[in-house]
Amino acid sequence: MNKKHLIVVVGSTAVGKTALTVQLAKHFGAKVLNADSRQVFKEISVGTAKPSDKELENVPHYFIDDRSIKDEFSAGHFEKEGLAILDTIFEKEDIAILSGGSGLYIDALCFGFSDIPKVDDSIRKALKEREREEGVKPLYADLQKLDPDYAKSINPENQQRVIRALEICIGTGKPFSSFRTGGQEQRIFNLHFIGLELPRQVLYNRINARMDEMIANGLFEEAKLNEKYKHTNALQTVGYSEIFGYFEGKYDKEEAIRLLKRNSRRYAKRQMTWFKKNKMVKWFEPTQINEIIDYLIPRISN
């Protein structure tokens, strides 16, 4: 019987995943793999809500500040490197923790990707040309028709993700989401999913407060420092794209802040839509640490 265990902590932004993960890591003496598509980049910290220096000092984390924003990093990279790290951890230990809000990264590591066929380069070139002429909105509308599940899970303004998904849909005749997971890969560890949720208004209040804190801590200044990289996937995301719009004169700062908060709330809703599809997740409120540990102990012991 497999005696290696991966505890997977999921939930929306600002729900309290980091605090719970640190508590679980201390309780079980476990190392943490961070499943966040932006916290891996060392140049962006304010807008990504990375664990504090104290939290990182007390609990070993992987995939925090591991890359430069100039580097390519995808769910495929995360799967490959994450599995190698888990192999090393499980040589000496029985428990590890995976924690984050990037559903695609979590699914990749836990279940694996189907091989995505290579499609004709001309499709991507045509989509990029169309995006330059018409903007990303018509492309996203096409994606909603061809792959509504994946379209609901991403930022409609993230042109790289929209184009990538659309080229696969067009080139293969199948939804992009049909390739992203599917339980094809047999993992050498048991999976234990813990989901965190809060009443909607409570969560939204926390998101608004977090955005105010980020702004006070220099979010606009951080975006300015990295403006030359605004074309990268990491910065075509909620928390940065709204600020770049302000820098480009599309609206004033007050409107940028309103959009930051609104889009962060919408992102949280997309995250929950993704995670709620996983019937392996056991849901708790973030304060239920004792109940979560009581839930995990017999499953890990067995």
Domains of the chain in sequence order: 5-113+181-301 (3.40.50.300), 121-179 (1.10.20.140)
- What's the token pair of residue 23? 């508590």
Q: Cα separation of 225 and 235, whole Å?
A: 12
Which phi and psi angles does 111 have, rounded to 5°?
Answer: -120, -20
- Could you list the mean pLDDT of each consecutive 10-residue stretch along the chain, which spans 302 residues? 90 97 97 97 96 90 96 91 97 98 94 80 92 93 93 86 92 85 72 98 98 98 97 92 97 98 96 95 98 97 76
> Whole-model pTM?
0.86
Q: What is the pLDDT of residues 140-185, one digit of tens each?
A: 999 999 999 889 888 888 888 899 999 999 999 999 888 765 545 6
Please report the beta strands in the chain, taking only residues with DSSP state E, as ranges in sequence order.
5-11, 31-34, 61-62, 95-99, 190-196, 281-284
Half-sphere CA count of 152, side-chain side, radius 13 A: 12
pLDDT in tens, 239-273: 999 999 999 999 999 999 999 999 999 999 999 99
Measure the N-to-C terminal CA separation of the chain; round to a whole number of Å. Answer: 9
Residue 72: C-alpha distances to residues 6, 38, 69, 76 (Å): 26, 12, 8, 11
* DSSP element (H, E) containing 141: helix 137-146
| Sequence letter at residue 126 | A
Give dist(CA 29, CA 214) in Å, integer.
31
**How much is the pLDDT for 169?**
94
Mean pLDDT estimate for the chain: 93
Residue recorded with tokens 């497999």: 2
Cα–Cα–Cα angle for 7, 96, 193, nearest 5°?
A: 10
